[in-house]
Structure 1
Protein backbone atom coordinates (compact mmCIF):
# COMPACT_ATOMS: atom_id res chain seq x y z
CA UNK A 1 0.00 0.00 0.00
CA UNK A 2 1.24 3.46 -0.89
CA UNK A 3 0.90 5.41 2.37
CA UNK A 4 1.74 8.65 0.55
CA UNK A 5 -1.18 8.30 -1.86
CA UNK A 6 -3.52 11.29 -1.83
CA UNK A 7 -7.05 11.14 -0.43
CA UNK A 8 -9.76 13.38 -1.87
CA UNK A 9 -12.82 12.57 0.24
CA UNK A 10 -14.39 15.90 1.20
CA UNK A 11 -16.28 18.60 -0.62
CA UNK A 12 -14.00 21.43 0.44
CA UNK A 13 -10.90 19.83 -1.10
CA UNK A 14 -10.48 20.87 -4.73
CA UNK A 15 -6.70 20.37 -5.02
CA UNK A 16 -3.90 18.38 -3.34
CA UNK A 17 -2.48 21.51 -1.68
CA UNK A 18 -1.79 21.56 2.07
CA UNK A 19 -4.39 24.29 2.78
CA UNK A 20 -7.00 23.03 0.32
CA UNK A 21 -9.36 22.36 3.25
CA UNK A 22 -8.94 25.46 5.43
CA UNK A 23 -12.30 25.22 7.22
CA UNK A 24 -12.00 21.48 7.82
CA UNK A 25 -8.43 21.99 9.06
CA UNK A 26 -9.03 24.96 11.35
CA UNK A 27 -12.17 23.56 12.99
CA UNK A 28 -10.04 20.80 14.50
CA UNK A 29 -9.16 23.45 17.07
CA UNK A 30 -12.53 22.56 18.60
CA UNK A 31 -11.09 19.20 19.69
CA UNK A 32 -8.08 20.87 21.29
CA UNK A 33 -10.25 23.44 23.08
CA UNK A 34 -12.56 20.68 24.34
CA UNK A 35 -9.57 18.60 25.48
CA UNK A 36 -8.06 21.50 27.46
CA UNK A 37 -11.43 22.36 29.01
CA UNK A 38 -12.15 18.81 30.11
CA UNK A 39 -8.60 18.29 31.40
CA UNK A 40 -9.09 21.26 33.70
CA UNK A 41 -12.65 20.33 34.70
CA UNK A 42 -12.07 16.67 35.42
CA UNK A 43 -9.14 15.86 37.75
CA UNK A 44 -9.86 12.13 37.51
CA UNK A 45 -7.26 9.78 35.97
CA UNK A 46 -9.62 8.22 33.42
CA UNK A 47 -11.23 11.55 32.53
CA UNK A 48 -7.81 13.07 31.94
CA UNK A 49 -6.75 10.09 29.85
CA UNK A 50 -9.87 10.57 27.72
CA UNK A 51 -9.14 14.30 27.49
CA UNK A 52 -5.60 13.58 26.29
CA UNK A 53 -6.92 11.25 23.59
CA UNK A 54 -9.46 13.92 22.62
CA UNK A 55 -6.58 16.31 21.99
CA UNK A 56 -4.80 13.71 19.86
CA UNK A 57 -8.00 13.30 17.81
CA UNK A 58 -7.74 16.99 16.91
CA UNK A 59 -4.11 16.66 15.88
CA UNK A 60 -4.77 13.53 13.80
CA UNK A 61 -7.75 15.08 12.05
CA UNK A 62 -5.74 18.25 11.31
CA UNK A 63 -3.04 16.13 9.68
CA UNK A 64 -5.61 14.34 7.54
CA UNK A 65 -7.31 17.52 6.35
CA UNK A 66 -4.00 19.15 5.44
CA UNK A 67 -1.69 16.40 4.15
CA UNK A 68 -4.68 14.35 2.88
CA UNK A 69 -2.65 11.17 2.45
CA UNK A 70 -3.32 7.60 3.55
CA UNK A 71 -0.92 7.73 6.49
CA UNK A 72 -2.71 10.85 7.72
CA UNK A 73 -6.02 9.03 7.38
CA UNK A 74 -4.67 6.44 9.80
CA UNK A 75 -3.58 9.24 12.15
CA UNK A 76 -7.19 10.47 11.94
CA UNK A 77 -9.04 7.25 12.74
CA UNK A 78 -6.76 5.55 15.27
CA UNK A 79 -7.21 8.16 18.04
CA UNK A 80 -10.99 7.99 17.52
CA UNK A 81 -10.83 4.22 17.94
CA UNK A 82 -8.66 4.66 21.03
CA UNK A 83 -11.24 7.00 22.59
CA UNK A 84 -14.06 4.55 21.87
CA UNK A 85 -12.20 1.60 23.40
CA UNK A 86 -11.05 3.56 26.44
CA UNK A 87 -14.58 4.84 27.07
CA UNK A 88 -16.03 1.34 26.76
CA UNK A 89 -13.57 0.15 29.41
CA UNK A 90 -14.47 3.08 31.67
CA UNK A 91 -18.20 2.52 31.16
CA UNK A 92 -17.88 -1.20 31.89
CA UNK A 93 -15.79 -0.69 35.01
CA UNK A 94 -17.21 2.49 36.49
CA UNK A 95 -20.79 2.64 35.19
CA UNK A 96 -21.67 -1.06 35.21
CA UNK A 97 -19.35 -2.06 38.06
CA UNK A 98 -17.59 -4.87 36.20
CA UNK A 99 -14.16 -6.14 37.19
CA UNK A 100 -11.17 -4.87 35.18
CA UNK A 101 -10.88 -8.24 33.42
CA UNK A 102 -14.55 -8.29 32.40
CA UNK A 103 -14.33 -4.64 31.43
CA UNK A 104 -11.43 -5.46 29.10
CA UNK A 105 -13.33 -8.42 27.61
CA UNK A 106 -16.15 -5.98 26.92
CA UNK A 107 -13.67 -3.82 25.04
CA UNK A 108 -12.65 -6.80 22.91
CA UNK A 109 -16.33 -7.51 22.19
CA UNK A 110 -16.51 -4.17 20.38
CA UNK A 111 -14.58 -5.60 17.42
CA UNK A 112 -17.01 -8.40 16.47
CA UNK A 113 -19.89 -6.00 17.16
CA UNK A 114 -18.45 -3.46 14.72
CA UNK A 115 -17.61 -6.18 12.19
CA UNK A 116 -21.28 -7.23 12.16
CA UNK A 117 -22.91 -3.81 12.47
CA UNK A 118 -20.89 -1.75 9.97
CA UNK A 119 -21.86 -3.89 6.92
CA UNK A 120 -25.51 -3.68 7.97
CA UNK A 121 -25.39 0.12 8.07
CA UNK A 122 -23.43 0.16 4.82
CA UNK A 123 -26.37 -1.57 3.11
CA UNK A 124 -28.45 1.55 3.71
CA UNK A 125 -26.41 3.19 0.95
CA UNK A 126 -26.96 6.83 1.87
CA UNK A 127 -24.56 6.72 4.84
CA UNK A 128 -21.44 6.32 2.71
CA UNK A 129 -18.26 6.29 4.79
CA UNK A 130 -20.29 7.35 7.84
CA UNK A 131 -21.50 3.74 8.06
CA UNK A 132 -18.25 3.01 9.87
CA UNK A 133 -19.34 5.30 12.71
CA UNK A 134 -23.06 4.50 12.74
CA UNK A 135 -22.81 1.58 15.24
CA UNK A 136 -21.40 3.92 17.90
CA UNK A 137 -24.57 5.88 18.79
CA UNK A 138 -26.45 2.58 18.87
CA UNK A 139 -23.92 1.19 21.34
CA UNK A 140 -24.14 4.32 23.50
CA UNK A 141 -27.92 3.99 23.62
CA UNK A 142 -27.58 0.35 24.69
CA UNK A 143 -25.38 1.47 27.58
CA UNK A 144 -27.92 4.17 28.43
CA UNK A 145 -30.67 1.54 28.58
CA UNK A 146 -28.64 -0.69 30.90
CA UNK A 147 -27.73 2.25 33.12
CA UNK A 148 -31.24 3.66 33.48
CA UNK A 149 -32.33 1.48 36.44
CA UNK A 150 -29.13 2.07 38.43
CA UNK A 151 -27.74 5.46 37.34
CA UNK A 152 -30.41 7.64 35.75
CA UNK A 153 -28.24 10.75 35.41
CA UNK A 154 -25.47 8.82 33.66
CA UNK A 155 -28.06 7.13 31.43
CA UNK A 156 -29.50 10.53 30.54
CA UNK A 157 -26.03 11.83 29.77
CA UNK A 158 -25.23 8.85 27.54
CA UNK A 159 -28.50 9.27 25.65
CA UNK A 160 -27.72 12.95 25.11
CA UNK A 161 -24.28 11.98 23.81
CA UNK A 162 -25.83 9.54 21.36
CA UNK A 163 -28.20 12.22 20.09
CA UNK A 164 -25.33 14.67 19.61
CA UNK A 165 -23.40 12.03 17.69
CA UNK A 166 -26.37 11.30 15.43
CA UNK A 167 -26.66 15.01 14.55
CA UNK A 168 -22.90 15.18 14.04
CA UNK A 169 -22.96 12.14 11.76
CA UNK A 170 -25.77 13.72 9.75
CA UNK A 171 -23.52 16.66 8.86
CA UNK A 172 -20.67 14.27 8.01
CA UNK A 173 -22.94 12.25 5.73
CA UNK A 174 -24.34 15.33 3.95
CA UNK A 175 -20.90 16.68 3.01
CA UNK A 176 -20.88 15.00 -0.41
CA UNK A 177 -24.57 15.25 -1.37
CA UNK A 178 -24.71 18.98 -0.56
CA UNK A 179 -21.39 19.81 -2.22
CA UNK A 180 -23.00 21.50 -5.23
CA UNK A 181 -25.00 23.91 -3.06
CA UNK A 182 -22.57 24.28 -0.12
CA UNK A 183 -19.09 24.54 -1.71
CA UNK A 184 -17.16 24.34 1.55
CA UNK A 185 -19.19 21.28 2.56
CA UNK A 186 -20.62 20.35 5.94
CA UNK A 187 -17.81 18.18 7.27
CA UNK A 188 -16.56 20.99 9.51
CA UNK A 189 -19.76 20.66 11.54
CA UNK A 190 -18.79 17.05 12.23
CA UNK A 191 -15.64 18.41 13.88
CA UNK A 192 -17.41 21.03 15.97
CA UNK A 193 -20.31 18.84 17.11
CA UNK A 194 -18.08 15.82 17.63
CA UNK A 195 -15.80 17.87 19.87
CA UNK A 196 -18.84 18.93 21.90
CA UNK A 197 -20.13 15.36 22.01
CA UNK A 198 -16.83 13.83 23.16
CA UNK A 199 -16.40 16.52 25.80
CA UNK A 200 -19.95 15.80 26.99
CA UNK A 201 -19.17 12.10 27.26
CA UNK A 202 -16.18 12.91 29.48
CA UNK A 203 -18.37 15.25 31.51
CA UNK A 204 -20.98 12.50 31.93
CA UNK A 205 -18.31 10.12 33.19
CA UNK A 206 -16.84 12.70 35.56
CA UNK A 207 -20.21 13.67 37.03
CA UNK A 208 -21.03 10.03 37.68
CA UNK A 209 -17.72 9.37 39.41
CA UNK A 210 -17.80 12.54 41.51
CA UNK A 211 -21.41 11.90 42.54
CA UNK A 212 -20.38 8.43 43.68
CA UNK A 213 -17.61 9.89 45.79
CA UNK A 214 -20.00 12.33 47.44
CA UNK A 215 -22.46 9.58 48.27
CA UNK A 216 -19.76 7.38 49.79
CA UNK A 217 -18.22 10.22 51.82
Structure 2
Protein backbone atom coordinates (compact mmCIF):
# COMPACT_ATOMS: atom_id res chain seq x y z
CA UNK A 1 0.00 0.00 0.00
CA UNK A 2 1.20 3.49 -0.89
CA UNK A 3 0.62 5.48 2.30
CA UNK A 4 1.44 8.72 0.51
CA UNK A 5 -1.11 8.28 -2.28
CA UNK A 6 -3.42 11.27 -2.68
CA UNK A 7 -7.14 10.94 -1.98
CA UNK A 8 -9.97 13.17 -3.17
CA UNK A 9 -13.40 12.36 -1.80
CA UNK A 10 -14.91 15.73 -0.93
CA UNK A 11 -16.58 18.49 -2.89
CA UNK A 12 -14.42 21.28 -1.49
CA UNK A 13 -11.11 19.72 -2.64
CA UNK A 14 -10.40 20.78 -6.21
CA UNK A 15 -6.61 20.30 -6.20
CA UNK A 16 -3.76 18.99 -4.03
CA UNK A 17 -2.47 21.20 -1.23
CA UNK A 18 -2.72 21.78 2.50
CA UNK A 19 -5.35 24.53 2.13
CA UNK A 20 -7.46 22.90 -0.57
CA UNK A 21 -10.26 22.27 1.95
CA UNK A 22 -10.33 25.36 4.19
CA UNK A 23 -13.84 24.86 5.58
CA UNK A 24 -13.38 21.13 6.10
CA UNK A 25 -10.10 21.88 7.87
CA UNK A 26 -11.15 24.79 10.08
CA UNK A 27 -14.44 23.16 11.10
CA UNK A 28 -12.43 20.54 13.00
CA UNK A 29 -12.09 23.21 15.68
CA UNK A 30 -15.54 22.05 16.79
CA UNK A 31 -14.02 18.76 17.98
CA UNK A 32 -11.13 20.47 19.75
CA UNK A 33 -13.35 23.02 21.51
CA UNK A 34 -15.79 20.30 22.61
CA UNK A 35 -12.92 18.11 23.85
CA UNK A 36 -11.40 20.89 25.95
CA UNK A 37 -14.82 21.85 27.34
CA UNK A 38 -15.58 18.25 28.32
CA UNK A 39 -12.13 17.74 29.83
CA UNK A 40 -12.50 20.82 32.02
CA UNK A 41 -15.94 19.70 33.16
CA UNK A 42 -14.89 16.11 33.85
CA UNK A 43 -13.84 16.78 37.43
CA UNK A 44 -11.25 14.05 37.22
CA UNK A 45 -13.74 11.32 36.25
CA UNK A 46 -11.84 8.74 34.24
CA UNK A 47 -14.39 7.88 31.55
CA UNK A 48 -15.23 11.48 30.54
CA UNK A 49 -11.54 12.36 30.52
CA UNK A 50 -10.63 9.39 28.33
CA UNK A 51 -13.45 10.21 25.91
CA UNK A 52 -12.40 13.87 25.85
CA UNK A 53 -8.84 12.87 24.93
CA UNK A 54 -10.15 10.65 22.14
CA UNK A 55 -12.37 13.47 20.89
CA UNK A 56 -9.34 15.75 20.73
CA UNK A 57 -7.53 13.03 18.74
CA UNK A 58 -10.48 12.91 16.33
CA UNK A 59 -10.12 16.64 15.71
CA UNK A 60 -6.38 16.36 15.07
CA UNK A 61 -6.74 13.29 12.85
CA UNK A 62 -9.52 14.83 10.79
CA UNK A 63 -7.54 18.06 10.41
CA UNK A 64 -4.57 16.06 9.12
CA UNK A 65 -6.75 14.24 6.61
CA UNK A 66 -8.39 17.39 5.28
CA UNK A 67 -4.96 19.01 5.01
CA UNK A 68 -2.79 16.28 3.47
CA UNK A 69 -5.54 14.06 1.95
CA UNK A 70 -3.33 10.96 1.79
CA UNK A 71 -3.79 7.34 2.81
CA UNK A 72 -1.82 7.77 6.03
CA UNK A 73 -3.82 10.88 6.91
CA UNK A 74 -7.03 8.95 6.26
CA UNK A 75 -5.89 6.36 8.80
CA UNK A 76 -5.15 9.16 11.28
CA UNK A 77 -8.74 10.31 10.71
CA UNK A 78 -10.55 6.97 10.88
CA UNK A 79 -8.70 5.16 13.68
CA UNK A 80 -9.54 7.66 16.48
CA UNK A 81 -13.18 7.60 15.40
CA UNK A 82 -13.32 3.81 15.63
CA UNK A 83 -11.61 3.82 19.02
CA UNK A 84 -13.99 6.52 20.27
CA UNK A 85 -17.04 4.50 19.24
CA UNK A 86 -15.82 1.40 21.07
CA UNK A 87 -14.82 3.46 24.11
CA UNK A 88 -18.20 5.18 24.21
CA UNK A 89 -20.11 1.89 24.04
CA UNK A 90 -17.97 0.66 26.94
CA UNK A 91 -18.58 3.89 28.87
CA UNK A 92 -22.33 3.68 28.18
CA UNK A 93 -22.45 0.13 29.50
CA UNK A 94 -20.63 1.23 32.64
CA UNK A 95 -22.35 4.56 33.27
CA UNK A 96 -25.91 3.89 32.02
CA UNK A 97 -26.38 0.17 32.55
CA UNK A 98 -23.92 -0.18 35.47
CA UNK A 99 -22.47 -3.35 34.01
CA UNK A 100 -19.23 -4.71 35.48
CA UNK A 101 -16.00 -4.09 33.58
CA UNK A 102 -15.92 -7.49 31.86
CA UNK A 103 -19.53 -7.23 30.65
CA UNK A 104 -19.08 -3.63 29.50
CA UNK A 105 -16.00 -4.71 27.54
CA UNK A 106 -17.81 -7.60 25.89
CA UNK A 107 -20.68 -5.29 25.04
CA UNK A 108 -18.27 -2.84 23.41
CA UNK A 109 -16.63 -5.64 21.43
CA UNK A 110 -20.12 -6.60 20.23
CA UNK A 111 -20.20 -3.38 18.20
CA UNK A 112 -17.80 -4.95 15.70
CA UNK A 113 -20.16 -7.73 14.48
CA UNK A 114 -23.06 -5.24 14.75
CA UNK A 115 -21.29 -2.91 12.30
CA UNK A 116 -20.11 -5.73 10.02
CA UNK A 117 -23.67 -7.04 9.78
CA UNK A 118 -25.42 -3.72 9.19
CA UNK A 119 -22.94 -1.85 6.98
CA UNK A 120 -23.75 -3.95 3.86
CA UNK A 121 -27.46 -3.40 4.53
CA UNK A 122 -27.05 0.38 4.53
CA UNK A 123 -24.67 0.17 1.56
CA UNK A 124 -27.49 -1.38 -0.46
CA UNK A 125 -29.70 1.70 0.10
CA UNK A 126 -29.12 4.57 -2.38
CA UNK A 127 -28.90 7.56 -0.02
CA UNK A 128 -27.14 5.64 2.75
CA UNK A 129 -24.36 4.16 0.59
CA UNK A 130 -21.86 7.00 1.03
CA UNK A 131 -21.88 6.76 4.84
CA UNK A 132 -22.92 3.12 5.15
CA UNK A 133 -20.19 2.33 7.69
CA UNK A 134 -21.44 5.11 10.01
CA UNK A 135 -25.20 4.44 9.99
CA UNK A 136 -25.04 1.47 12.43
CA UNK A 137 -23.92 3.98 15.10
CA UNK A 138 -27.11 6.09 15.38
CA UNK A 139 -29.14 2.89 15.17
CA UNK A 140 -27.28 1.52 18.20
CA UNK A 141 -27.71 4.82 20.05
CA UNK A 142 -31.43 4.60 19.35
CA UNK A 143 -31.49 1.08 20.82
CA UNK A 144 -29.97 2.45 24.03
CA UNK A 145 -32.49 5.31 24.00
CA UNK A 146 -35.46 2.94 23.79
CA UNK A 147 -33.94 0.63 26.42
CA UNK A 148 -33.41 3.46 28.90
CA UNK A 149 -36.34 5.74 28.08
CA UNK A 150 -38.48 4.60 31.01
CA UNK A 151 -35.73 3.22 33.24
CA UNK A 152 -33.62 6.37 33.23
CA UNK A 153 -35.45 9.21 31.41
CA UNK A 154 -32.53 11.67 31.51
CA UNK A 155 -30.27 9.21 29.71
CA UNK A 156 -32.98 7.90 27.39
CA UNK A 157 -33.86 11.40 26.19
CA UNK A 158 -30.19 12.30 25.83
CA UNK A 159 -29.48 9.22 23.74
CA UNK A 160 -32.54 9.84 21.56
CA UNK A 161 -31.38 13.41 20.96
CA UNK A 162 -27.91 12.09 20.12
CA UNK A 163 -29.30 9.57 17.63
CA UNK A 164 -31.38 12.25 15.92
CA UNK A 165 -28.52 14.73 15.72
CA UNK A 166 -26.17 12.09 14.32
CA UNK A 167 -28.74 11.20 11.63
CA UNK A 168 -28.90 14.88 10.66
CA UNK A 169 -25.12 15.09 10.65
CA UNK A 170 -24.84 11.98 8.48
CA UNK A 171 -27.35 13.46 6.04
CA UNK A 172 -25.04 16.45 5.50
CA UNK A 173 -22.07 14.11 5.10
CA UNK A 174 -23.94 12.08 2.50
CA UNK A 175 -25.08 15.15 0.55
CA UNK A 176 -21.58 16.60 0.12
CA UNK A 177 -20.85 15.30 -3.39
CA UNK A 178 -24.51 15.18 -4.43
CA UNK A 179 -24.95 18.95 -4.02
CA UNK A 180 -21.46 19.79 -5.25
CA UNK A 181 -22.51 21.16 -8.64
CA UNK A 182 -24.78 23.77 -7.08
CA UNK A 183 -22.83 24.32 -3.84
CA UNK A 184 -19.05 24.09 -4.50
CA UNK A 185 -18.15 24.42 -0.82
CA UNK A 186 -19.84 21.12 -0.07
CA UNK A 187 -21.54 20.16 3.19
CA UNK A 188 -18.84 18.09 4.89
CA UNK A 189 -17.91 20.96 7.20
CA UNK A 190 -21.44 20.80 8.63
CA UNK A 191 -20.79 17.14 9.51
CA UNK A 192 -17.76 18.27 11.53
CA UNK A 193 -19.59 21.10 13.26
CA UNK A 194 -22.64 19.06 14.24
CA UNK A 195 -20.47 16.17 15.40
CA UNK A 196 -18.47 18.46 17.64
CA UNK A 197 -21.71 19.48 19.35
CA UNK A 198 -23.00 15.90 19.36
CA UNK A 199 -19.91 14.22 20.81
CA UNK A 200 -19.43 16.92 23.40
CA UNK A 201 -23.03 16.41 24.50
CA UNK A 202 -22.64 12.63 24.60
CA UNK A 203 -19.58 12.90 26.84
CA UNK A 204 -21.44 15.34 29.07
CA UNK A 205 -24.26 12.81 29.36
CA UNK A 206 -21.76 10.21 30.58
CA UNK A 207 -20.48 12.69 33.18
CA UNK A 208 -23.98 13.47 34.44
CA UNK A 209 -24.88 9.78 34.64
CA UNK A 210 -21.76 9.01 36.66
CA UNK A 211 -22.47 11.86 39.06
CA UNK A 212 -26.02 10.57 39.55
CA UNK A 213 -24.60 7.80 41.70
CA UNK A 214 -24.84 4.00 41.71
CA UNK A 215 -28.19 3.82 39.96
CA UNK A 216 -28.99 0.59 38.12
CA UNK A 217 -31.35 0.39 35.18
CA UNK A 218 -34.21 -1.96 36.04
| TM-score between both structures, scaled by the size of structure 1 | 0.96
Conserved? CA contact 2:64–2:76, under 8 Å: yes
Aligned to 1:5: 5
1:76-155 equivalent positions in 2, closer than 5 A: 76-155=77-156
1:36-115 equivalent positions in 2, closer than 5 A: 36-43=36-43, 44-115=45-116
Matches of 1:155 and 1:212, distance apart in 2? 17
Aligned to 2:26: 26
1:119-198 equivalent positions in 2, closer than 5 A: 119-198=120-199
Matches of 2:172 and 2:152, distance apart in 1? 31
CA shift, 1:145, in A, is: 1.3
Q: Deviations over 1:37-58 (max 9, x none)?
A: 1111122111011011100000
Secondary structure of 2:132's aligned partner: helix
Secondary structure of 1:20's aligned partner: coil
Conserved? CA contact 2:98–2:214, under 8 Å: no
Q: How many residues align?
A: 214
Runs of 4 or more above 6 Å deviation: none
CA shift, 1:213, in A, is: 6.6
CA shift, 1:66, in A, is: 0.5
| TM-score between both structures, scaled by the size of structure 2 | 0.95
In structure 2, list runs of 5 or more residues that go unmatched. none
- More deviation, 125-134/168-177: 125-134
In structure 1, list runs of 5 or more residues that go unmatched. none
Matches of 2:142 and 2:124, distance apart in 1? 21
Q: Deviations over 1:71-130 (max 9, x none)?
A: 111110111111111111111122112111111111111111100000000000222331
Root-mean-square deviation (CA), in Å? 1.2
Q: Which has the higher contact order (CA 8 A, sep 6+)?
A: 2
Matches of 1:31 and 1:97, distance apart in 2? 28
Q: Deviations over 1:118-171 (max 9, x none)?
A: 000000022233111001000001011111232110111011111110111011
Structure with more of its chain in helix, by fraction: 1
Is 2:200 the counterpart of 1:199? yes
Matches of 1:151 and 1:209, distance apart in 2? 13
